[in-house]
Structure 1
Amino acid sequence: MSPKEQDRTILLDRVAMAVLGTAAGVSFWLLVEVLPDTDVHPRLYLAVFALAAVFFGVALALCGPVSILRAVAAALAVGVPSAALLSLAGLRFADAADIARSPPTLMMFIIMVSVATPFLAVWLQDRTSWRRYPDLFDAAWTITVRYLAAWLFVGVAWLVLMLSNALLGLVGVDVIENLLDVEPVPYAFSGLVLGIALAVVHELRSYLSPYLLLRLLRLLLPVVLLVVLIFIAALPLRGLSSLFGDFSAAGTLMGVTIGAITLITIALDRDNGLAVHTPLMRSATQVLALALPVLGALALYAIVLRVTQYGWTPDRVFAAVCATFLLAYGVCYAVVALARRHWMDRIRRVNVTLALVLIAIAALWMTPLLHAEKISTGSQIARYQSGQAMAAQLPLWEMDKEWGKAGQRGLARLEELDSDGALAPMIAAAREADSKYALENLQNVALGQARVADLIKVMPVRPEGETLRASDLAAVHVTVVERWYQACSASLSDQAPSCVLVIGELDETGERQGMFFAQVEGQNAFVELISLGQGDQSWARNMYDLANTQRAFVPDGTVARILSGDFRIGPSRQKALFVGDMELVPDN
């Protein structure tokens, strides 16, 4: 091909990619900004959005290695069944748009398409070698680097555009700003730049190859191996009980496992000629492969513990599937790494096989055969029926808002099982709340009102003749009410009351205030002040002892003294409550 013909081919490829990128940008403008405001059916919208995302994402990835026409045809062939699967998953929800509240399903959709794309790229170039590892390795990393470089250029292009707009604005020229105000232009500009960038990166593939990135990432393998070995060595000393604490141990373990698998794959490269060849790096790669089953097994065990405690949720089903798959990876890697001959080639074959299995699992997730929301709903109902979970421990809001039709049917089933009526107000609150935060507020109000009635029954009030009404504590925060109730419910060794509320006025506002004393066995009593009958939410305040010029530390027997009437409210340097030698005022 002559230089002139070569230049013409390059120009045509750039124009084609620019057109495809611009079409992608305009399409997403229509999908994001226009169609949601129309009467398009939500299920049709979901199918079109999924088709557009897969079609343009795959087509832009394939263009260059294959002709644009073949890339577009292949992207369409992948996009239609993918969109159909996501639409099938959307049937789990009364409103197809609610699938956006199911991150596991969206993640499985992305995994399915992303892992399948390198197979498609190789198949389009040679239909007989679509499982050939060197070609798959090159295709996967080439697509990754092309997209990373192209999106980086999109960011730079937007920075230049913004700076140019600011510079022209200094002389009163606002042509760029006016142009960007036209609705589709920002989307079209991003798509245009992305398409051109992908074309240029492909042209310079001999200069901008994945191998620089891969060589740099190899340097991390010994570091990760050292950290993993220290972790495994520390396990017998620390024990498993301290390993699975409040943080997400399973997420951390799975993240490290994925990183280790990636580094091993990078170290082995496309073939033995390019793989790590020094004895140190080869040994490090083998040892890291042998450590993978430990990480995978611990991740799965952490999820099993969580499920045992709290039951299944869609997120935990997703995590369990991922952990099981990573454990399979680890076991296969470890078994193969034990072999002295051809272990690298065997790991590469394992990668191809497990990648195909991953595509199948991701596709299965979106069918009724692996219905995470249905599994989770059945688990939570079973926990309630068996007494493992009380009403307040059930994920009622998630069942109504995030678990689709299965979750809503589960709520109806729980209503049938609600023999004592404890669930009814909580389910009603879950259906009413727009967010989990709003639900917690509604539940706190409901629980607080119930606990106030319980508290009034067990809490003595002084002076004699004073009465405490539910309205007096209506604005007191639920955590304060619960703390007081627990304190009053505790019995002392002599069966004497463990709490008392002194009602009076300790400032010039004239509002009623309550000073709450609680005696804990073997410890000093604590005292707190609350304003009674206030409209705004009230928290308890500490008391200050003017006699001892310190925060009040109330000695044993104080509750008994107050109950016997040995106290008075009177003036001091300010109005105070006198109990023995103490002179108690609000701690400001």
Structure 2
Amino acid sequence: MLNAAKQPFSERHALIFRAVIGVLFGLVLAYIQTYTDAHRPEHPIDPSKITQTYIWHQIAFLTVALSAFIYWAGAAAMRRAMLLIWGLISMALIAVITWTQYQQNPTPYFSPFWGTATFLLYPLLFIGHELISSADQARKPIAPYSLYFDEAWKRGVQLCLCILFTLLLWGILWLGASLLGFIGFDWFKKLLEQEYFSFPVTGLALGISVHLSDVQTKLLANVRALILGVLSWLLPVIVLVGLIFTVSLCFSGLEPLWKTKAATATLLGACLGLVLLINAAYQQGDVERPVNIALKIAARIGCGLILIFSVLAAYALSLRIGQYGLTPARIMALVGVIVALLYGIGYAVAAVMPGRWLRLVEPLNIAFAIAKCVIFIAVLTPIATPARLSVNDQVARLQSGKVAPDQFDWNLLRFETGVYGTRALDTLEKNGTTDAIRKKATEAKTIKERYQLTPPSKSVKPSAGQFKVIAPADGVMPATYLTQSFDIDGYDTPQCMKTGSKLCQVSLIDLNRDTAPEIVMLDDNALRIYVFEDGKWQQQTVDFSLSDAQKAAFLKGETQVSRPEWDYLMIGDKLITPH
């Protein structure tokens, strides 16, 4: 018995084990689901009626569902004792992480599958399993890179195939239920809707599909090779696009990128795509197989692009954090930036290192996989939970006077950071540095609905130093414009006013013949026109796009009013324009 525990399951026993896990875990999930359905509060939900037992059943659901994949994947690869130990550790880790997510957002609508940080749990389990499984197979803490590569890509392809198989099975089952329903038999449909049937069947289907793909090694290897081949030849395409984008930035500057308001996410997505495609092209290097020279060049360039994109993403995020401080979403973006910078620096060194093509990628991938697990665990557990870090940073900004109480995002503490925000409100109510802070904290605690709190005003008052009046030469910005506030996140607010990184170029011209000049402002390659109406400056819907030559002429002050040769004719309420 002791010797058996030190060996993996045989092919036959692995099939039985996976089938039993599928059915057994399916029954447990069916029980949990029926319990939560029976105890789910009616709408509108009273938070006081949400019991800890109800929450723990939801946490248990995710724990059981995800740990099943650990047991299925490791059944024929890991030693039985190690599989049991790793399975129990993974279940405990999933439960702790899910409980931490609930602490960050203890609402009646809590779902263990979704959350600001929950999606990191899935790559954590995948990467962690491959590290532990490969190490167990190699019988040493760090396995050869070839084993990591084979196992990781095998499990990734296997997971996709198993999910596809299960979806097809359920499609056939529901097709059969529909056909029976056409002739008046609905018992099969009702059976499919029963949790104690649907969950075990799904678990059994997944377990068997994992086993079938596991024993069909040639088929799985061919599918993996096909996927890697297709992905590797997408690398030159994304590298070409990345090069065009990078060169274009040299001429356009960073301003158009910041205008998207999704610069960090877009750049991190590009880094992720480059890392995936570079590894698809590299596979296990060029020792065992010849690699096309185009792929080698594209991979080296791609390594440099990762560094450029990760640095730009870090800069964009630092600007946002510097302006508004940390939030859970920004901390998650910071995690992505840190990981992207690791790959960017490491892969850039690998690209220029002499010797075998990108040989440094192998130890780097292993090191980065371990680093990602450490970072993910820290962020997903109380060690460095985004809610706590965000609350600490925001409270420090408030207490230091960097943010005024009226401008502070009290929603973040009251509704978006769970117990950490609640505790911070209690502290601010008692120990706020000013009476205004203590009063606002007390008001925030009394709010019952999230959207009753007025979001902080994100407005900006322009200063005379932000503008350069081109025409007339002695013109000055109207005082009424400089005392007016403009929405900093508004689509129509010129970028030069939002960032203050460059002067706003302005011409003062009377466009409506009222003897008072209007403001014509250059915003990138567009003109924005402001008219003083009803005691404030309002931007008109007119928006002129300029060519490069017209933009140069505007900057020289070559702007004048051109009156129409023909006036319009008004007949009744209809405007007639001559052609």
Q: Same fold (TM over 0.5)?
A: yes
Matched, 1:300 2:301: no
- Following superposition, the deviation at residue 57 of structure 1 comes to 2.2
The corresponding residue for 1:549 is 573
The corresponding residue for 1:519 is 534
1:316 partner amino acid = R
Asked if 1 retains the 8 angstrom alpha-carbon contact of 2:177 and 2:189, the reply is: yes
- Following superposition, the deviation at residue 85 of structure 1 comes to 5.4
Greater radius of gyration (CA): 1
Distance 1:230 1:391, change over 3 A: same
Matched, 1:226 2:240: yes
1:404 to 418, 427, 439: 418
The corresponding residue for 1:491 is none
Distance 1:320 1:102, change over 3 A: farther
The corresponding residue for 2:471 is none
The corresponding residue for 1:168 is 180
SS of residue matched to 2:117: helix
Deviation per residue, 1:20-40 (Å, 9 max, x gap): 222232222333331575666
Deviation per residue, 1:479-510 (Å, 9 max, x gap): xxxxxxxxxxxxxxxxxxxxxxxxxxxxxxxx
Q: What is the rounded CA distance, in whole Å, between the counterparts of 1:351 and 1:199 in structure 2?
A: 28
2:353 partner amino acid = A
Asked if 1 retains the 8 angstrom alpha-carbon contact of 2:429 and 2:437, the reply is: no
The corresponding residue for 1:26 is 27
- Following superposition, the deviation at residue 352 of structure 1 comes to 0.3
- Following superposition, the deviation at residue 13 of structure 1 comes to 4.3
Deviation per residue, 1:369-390 (Å, 9 max, x gap): 4242222113222333455444
1:185 partner amino acid = F
The corresponding residue for 1:473 is none
Distance 1:49 1:227, change over 3 A: same
The corresponding residue for 2:217 is 205
Greater shift, 143-152 or 60-69, is seen at 60-69
Deviation per residue, 1:124-177 (Å, 9 max, x gap): 322126431110111111111111001001111111111111111122222311
Asked if 1 retains the 8 angstrom alpha-carbon contact of 2:104 and 2:416, the reply is: no
Asked if 1 retains the 8 angstrom alpha-carbon contact of 2:304 and 2:347, the reply is: yes
The corresponding residue for 1:584 is none
1:346 partner amino acid = L
SS of residue matched to 1:74: helix
2:198 to 167, 171, 186: 186
Q: What is the rounded CA distance, in whole Å, between the counterparts of 1:112 and 1:549 in structure 2?
A: 67
The corresponding residue for 1:432 is 447
Asked if 2 retains the 8 angstrom alpha-carbon contact of 1:47 and 1:87, the reply is: yes
Distance 1:158 1:53, change over 3 A: closer
Q: What is the rounded CA distance, in whole Å, between the counterparts of 2:78 and 2:273 in structure 1?
A: 31
The corresponding residue for 2:510 is none
SS of residue matched to 1:103: coil
Q: What is the rounded CA distance, in whole Å, between the counterparts of 1:295 and 1:518 in structure 2?
A: 45
Matched, 1:312 2:313: no
- Following superposition, the deviation at residue 411 of structure 1 comes to 2.4
Q: What is the rounded CA distance, in whole Å, between the counterparts of 1:521 and 1:405 in structure 2?
A: 44
- Following superposition, the deviation at residue 392 of structure 1 comes to 5.3
The corresponding residue for 2:159 is 147
Greater shift, 86-95 or 400-409, is seen at 86-95
Q: What is the rounded CA distance, in whole Å, between the counterparts of 1:523 and 1:107 in structure 2?
A: 44
Deviation per residue, 1:262-312 (Å, 9 max, x gap): 111111103434566121111111111122111000111111111112111
Q: What is the rounded CA distance, in whole Å, between the counterparts of 2:442 and 2:245 in structure 1?
A: 44
1:116 partner amino acid = G
Q: What is the rounded CA distance, in whole Å, between the counterparts of 2:385 and 2:118 in structure 1?
A: 14
CA RMSD, aligned part only? Answer: 3.6
Asked if 2 retains the 8 angstrom alpha-carbon contact of 1:397 and 1:430, the reply is: no
2:299 to 249, 271, 285: 285
The corresponding residue for 1:244 is 258
Asked if 2 retains the 8 angstrom alpha-carbon contact of 1:50 and 1:79, the reply is: no
Asked if 1 retains the 8 angstrom alpha-carbon contact of 2:67 and 2:87, the reply is: yes
SS of residue matched to 2:218: coil
The corresponding residue for 2:3 is none
Asked if 1 retains the 8 angstrom alpha-carbon contact of 2:425 and 2:441, the reply is: no
Distance 1:81 1:155, change over 3 A: closer
Distance 1:34 1:99, change over 3 A: closer
User: What does 1:372-387 align with in structure 2 at a 5 Å threshold?
Assistant: 372-387=386-401
Asked if 1 retains the 8 angstrom alpha-carbon contact of 2:79 and 2:136, the reply is: no
Asked if 1 retains the 8 angstrom alpha-carbon contact of 2:233 and 2:281, the reply is: no
Distance 1:78 1:369, change over 3 A: closer
Distance 1:376 1:279, change over 3 A: same
User: What does 1:323-338 align with in structure 2 at a 5 Å threshold?
Assistant: 323-338=337-352
Gaps in structure 2 of 5+ consecutive residues: 1-9, 40-50, 458-531, 541-569
Deviation per residue, 1:82-101 (Å, 9 max, x gap): 53455467666768996859
Asked if 1 retains the 8 angstrom alpha-carbon contact of 2:286 and 2:357, the reply is: no
Distance 1:268 1:274, change over 3 A: farther
Q: What is the rounded CA distance, in whole Å, between the counterparts of 1:522 and 1:180 in structure 2?
A: 64
- Following superposition, the deviation at residue 55 of structure 1 comes to 2.4
Distance 1:344 1:398, change over 3 A: same
Asked if 2 retains the 8 angstrom alpha-carbon contact of 1:101 and 1:402, the reply is: no
1:253 partner amino acid = L
Greater shift, 419-428 or 142-151, is seen at 419-428
Q: What is the rounded CA distance, in whole Å, between the counterparts of 1:151 and 1:247 in structure 2?
A: 35
Distance 1:320 1:77, change over 3 A: closer
Identity of aligned residues (%): 24
Q: What is the rounded CA distance, in whole Å, between the counterparts of 2:204 and 2:113 in structure 1?
A: 31
SS of residue matched to 2:217: coil
1:75 partner amino acid = G
Distance 1:339 1:422, change over 3 A: closer
Gaps in structure 1 of 5+ consecutive residues: 1-8, 448-516, 526-545, 552-588
The corresponding residue for 1:260 is 274
Asked if 2 retains the 8 angstrom alpha-carbon contact of 1:201 and 1:208, the reply is: yes
Q: What is the rounded CA distance, in whole Å, between the counterparts of 2:325 and 2:537 in structure 1?
A: 39
Asked if 2 retains the 8 angstrom alpha-carbon contact of 1:276 and 1:282, the reply is: no
1:237 partner amino acid = F
Greater shift, 64-73 or 212-221, is seen at 64-73
Superposition TM-score, scaled by structure 1 size: 0.68
1:187 partner amino acid = F
- Following superposition, the deviation at residue 43 of structure 1 comes to 7.0
Q: What is the rounded CA distance, in whole Å, between the counterparts of 1:236 and 1:120 in structure 2?
A: 45
Distance 1:21 1:391, change over 3 A: same
SS of residue matched to 1:208: helix
The corresponding residue for 1:79 is 91
Asked if 1 retains the 8 angstrom alpha-carbon contact of 2:425 and 2:445, the reply is: no
Greater shift, 16-25 or 163-172, is seen at 16-25
Q: What is the rounded CA distance, in whole Å, between the counterparts of 1:82 and 1:314 in structure 2?
A: 20
The corresponding residue for 2:474 is none
Distance 1:325 1:12, change over 3 A: closer
Distance 1:522 1:266, change over 3 A: closer
The corresponding residue for 2:42 is none
Matched, 1:105 2:106: no
Distance 1:335 1:361, change over 3 A: same
Distance 1:418 1:329, change over 3 A: same
1:519 partner amino acid = D
Q: What is the rounded CA distance, in whole Å, between the counterparts of 1:62 and 1:431 in structure 2?
A: 51
2:28 partner amino acid = S
